[in-house]
Structures are given as structure tokens and as C-alpha cells.
Chains A and B, each alone.
Chain A
Amino acid sequence: QKEVEQDPGPLSVPEGAIVSLNCTYSNSAFQYFMWYRQYSRKGPELLMYTYSSGNKEDGRFTAQVDKSSKYISLFIRDSQPSDSATYLCAMSAAGTGNQFYFGTGTSLTVIP
């Protein structure tokens, strides 16, 4: 079983829709949770990061962490065509230095 599971999609939504992206994980030691966005032929760029459980909002983006269910989500409100990209979740545990574990990514297309 992979440490991090992510539905690869592809996901296709109309402009203005609310998008929900999700990851599950198996390692209860994970405490740091991140979402990256990757455009075609580019490296991943950090969107949001959170520590432990709870919600974090940044503009149109909201990240949620439910440690009891080992489940994290990224919500995108009022989705735009420029949001079309692959979204990767990542997580790490304290005391492991810089070892991050990534999901395989969800491909999102927002249709104008």
C-alpha cells in the first residue's frame, strides 16, 4: 500500500465551479501537509501548507486536514481556466528531515 493515495482523475469542471481534491494517507506520524500545483512542463509550485489538523484558507483555496480519518482536501472556489493543472498533495513527519511523500497528482481542467 502506498503511503499517500490520490485519485488521478482527470477531473473536468465548468468555470466557476467548486472543486474538491482529496488525498488519503496511512502513516499516522504525518504532521505537515502541503498542496502543490504543477502546470504542464513546469515544476510543482507550493500552493498551501498546514500543520496538523484543521482548515486553512488563502483566497479561493481552502485546505482541510482530518487526522482522525487520515484524509486531506483542497477546495477551489470559483474555479478559473488558469487553475487547470495537476494538483499534488504532499506530507511529511516531524524528525524525518526533508523527506516528503507525494500523491500521484490529480489532473484538473476548468472549461471556460
Chain B
Amino acid sequence: KAGVTQTPRYLIKTRGQQVTLSCSPISGHRSVSWYQQTPGQGLQFLFEYFSETQRNKGNFPGRFSGRQFSNSRSEMNVSTLELGDSALYLCASSLGQDILAKNIQYFGAGTRLSVL
């Protein structure tokens, strides 16, 4: 079974630009969560989508947005990029049910975004 696939793996953008990252979850998984990982802050939760609806949201500004399609693939968009947005963006998929055995998150390799 294929794992979680994130594209692209690396991105270089300049301040003020916008960027879209893509995540294809494990087949059968309906929940996709996005995280930002930086050396100082660790993994910070951005948002979670389940069956095309945003179910949970972390404490990030509105410049960070996402969506999920009917095939469970998800995209994350960051508008008006800032230098501080440079990070590894990780996507995790799970069955999304509120029972631990069904709720385990499997991560992709991430997209490393550098903002110059």
C-alpha cells in the first residue's frame, strides 16, 4: 500500500509570493492533517480536513488555508509569504475516527519551503 505522498519535496519562494502544497493520503484514509515543523517550535498543528470539511484548526493566521477534495487529496496554500514561513510542512493521514487504533497518523516526507 502506498504511503502518504507530498509534492513538491522542495520549494524556494520570495517574500510576498504564494505557494500551494499537495498531499495524497494513504488509500482509504479520509483525514488529512497539516503541520509546520521548525527547529525552534517543533511540530505545530495547522488544520485537519475530514471528508472535505475542515474539522480542526490550529493557531495560524488566515494566510494559511487548505482544502480537501472528494478523493481525500488535500492542498495547503500560504499567501503573502513571510521569511518566518520557511519550514518543513508535513501532511499526515489517518482513518480519522475517534478511536486510537483508527486514529493513528501516518506522515509524508514533507515539503521543505524556503522563503527568501
Contacts and interface: CB of A to CB of B under 8 A. Distances in A.
Interface of A: 6, 32, 34, 36, 41-46, 49, 51, 88, 90, 92, 94-105
B105 A100 contact: yes
A49 B98 contact: no
A97 B48 contact: yes
B33 interface: yes
A100 B100 contact: no
A88 B42 contact: yes
Interface size class of B (residues with CB under 8 A): 20 to 34
B55 A97 contact: yes
A97 B56 contact: yes
Contacts, number: 71
9 nearest CB pairs, A to B: A104-B42, A43-B107, A102-B43, A99-B56, A98-B48, A32-B100, A43-B109, A44-B107, A97-B55
A101 B40 CA distance: 15
Interface in B1-23: 4, 6
Residues of B contacting A: mostly: strand
Contact of A43 (B4, B33, B56, B104): B4
A100 B101 CA distance: 14
B66 interface: no
Q: Count chain B CB atoms within 10 A of each CB in A6, A43, A45, A88 and give the residue with the most.
A: A43
Contact of A97 (B90, B96, B106): B96
B50 A45 contact: no
13 contacts: A32-B100, A43-B90, A44-B43, A46-B105, A49-B104, A95-B98, A98-B94, A98-B105, A99-B45, A100-B33, A100-B105, A102-B35, A104-B40
